[in-house]
Amino acid sequence: MFLFILRRLAIAIPTLLLVSILVFGLLKLLPGDPAIALAGEDRDPAVIEFLRHKYMLDQPLYTQYVHWLWGILQGDFGLSIRTKLPIGEMILEKLPVTIQLSVMAMILALVIGIPAGVIAALKRGTPVDYGVSILGLAGLSVPSFWLGIMLILAFAVKLGWLPSGGYVGLFDSPLDNLRYMLMPSIVLGTAAAAIVMRHTRSSMLQTLRQDYVRTARAKGLKERIVVIRHVLRNGLIPVVTVSSLHFGELLSGAVLTEQVFGIPGFGKMVVDGVFGRDYAVVQAVVLCSSAMFLLLNLFADIAYVILSPRLRG
């Protein structure tokens, strides 16, 4: 197992390096000069020149990249040119909010998606299967921002059960935190639940046709034992990969949901960074998101091996 993890890390490191080059290079192609944006309405040439020199914007791209990467390797993401705060501290403040939102959304997706997919596969061709499939398709088709607005109108404006937006820290007031995060997690988890359901159904149908399942039934085992012991264990292997990769997408793709509900997370930090020409913030956030994505992929590989040791080689 240790060598298996080392091999996966050996692949992840150059991948992360390539991502860092792409992130740094592509952001430099964006229109607009951060120094001009920071100089204000006066746009004094002396001030602009000073800002370019201060943030190394007057240096060649490869010099800027090496300086940026060397700082990251030392744990220094630099200063935000908009807020003047250390970007590392900003990430540590915003990241837990997005992680909590993504975890709640993923739990919701797994709790709904896996049982629904299993039931749809076991009841294939019945009205239950068609009903679950229609709900799954609806979950994939509904835009998240529209669903968020509809939930706000229904549960915040009309019924007054939940707050329409904002955020309360988990350790400040756990109950209020759940009230504020419930609707965003439903919005974020709806599409994820539909994806998990469809993959679970497809994988279960393939597994149900395998010879060892027929053999287990021929031995006279009860259907419940066949499903739990032989079908679920093998049928959920692809679902583990899909879920882990989609969790990475939730971490990096919560931008719209955080904007709709006014949650001060990673997504809002990226939006503020883009509109403020704060390239260092955007680069740091995208790089952290990529690192988390690769880490989740590694966890998926380890889960693969645990569920099916023959995949270890």
Of the ranges 32-46, 109-123, 289-303, which is most confident? 109-123
In sequence order, what DSSP letters do the residues of 190-212 get, joined into one string? HHHHHHHHHHHHHHHHHHHTSHH
Binned at pLDDT 50, 70 and 90, residue 259 comes out as: confident
The SS3 of residue 86 is strand
Work out the angle between the directed axes of helices 279-307 and 266-275 (0-180°, nearest 10): 150
82 in any annotated domain: no
Could you give phi then psi for residue 143, rounded to 5 degrees?
Answer: -65, 140
pLDDT recorded at residue 116: 92
Distance CA 105, CA 1 (A): 30
122 in any annotated domain: yes
Distance CA 202, CA 38 (A): 53
187 and 111 housed in the same domain: yes
Structure-token pair, residue 219? 């031995």
pLDDT recorded at residue 254: 75
Q: Are 230 and 240 in contact (CB under 8 A)?
A: no
Please count the other Cβ atoms lying within 10 Å of the Cβ belonging to residue 1.
10
CA terminus-to-terminus distance, the chain: 10
169 and 106 housed in the same domain: yes
Q: Are 292 and 285 in contact (CB under 8 A)?
A: no
Percentage of the chain with pLDDT > 70?
Answer: 94
174 in any annotated domain: yes
Distance CA 117, CA 65 (A): 46
25 and 124 housed in the same domain: no
Whether the predicted pLDDT of 86 surpasses 70:
yes
70 and 100 housed in the same domain: no
192 and 272 housed in the same domain: yes
69 and 101 housed in the same domain: no
Q: Which DSSP letter does residue 311 get?
A: G
Please tell me the total count of domains within the chain.
2
264 and 296 housed in the same domain: yes
**Domain that residue 177 falls in:** 94-307
234 and 294 housed in the same domain: yes
Is the entire prediction scored with pTM above 0.85?
no
The owner of tokens 């009903």 is: 131
Average pLDDT over residues 254-261: 81
pLDDT recorded at residue 312: 55
Structure-token pair, residue 64? 């800027």
Q: pLDDT digit string (tens) for 185-233? A: 998 888 889 988 988 898 888 888 888 888 888 888 888 888 888 888 7
53 and 181 housed in the same domain: no
184 and 59 housed in the same domain: no
Residue ending a domain, choose from 43, 74, 105: 74
Q: pLDDT digit string (tens) for 159-182? A: 889 888 888 888 888 898 899 999
Whether the predicted pLDDT of 111 surpasses 90:
yes
Binned at pLDDT 50, 70 and 90, residue 310 comes out as: low
pLDDT recorded at residue 253: 65
Distance CA 293, CA 270 (A): 17
pLDDT recorded at residue 112: 92
57 and 135 housed in the same domain: no
In sequence order, what DSSP letters do the residues of 275-306 get, joined into one string? HTT-HHHHHHHHHHHHHHHHHHHHHHHHHHHH
Mean pLDDT of the chain: 83
Percentage of the chain with pLDDT > 90?
Answer: 9
pLDDT recorded at residue 294: 82
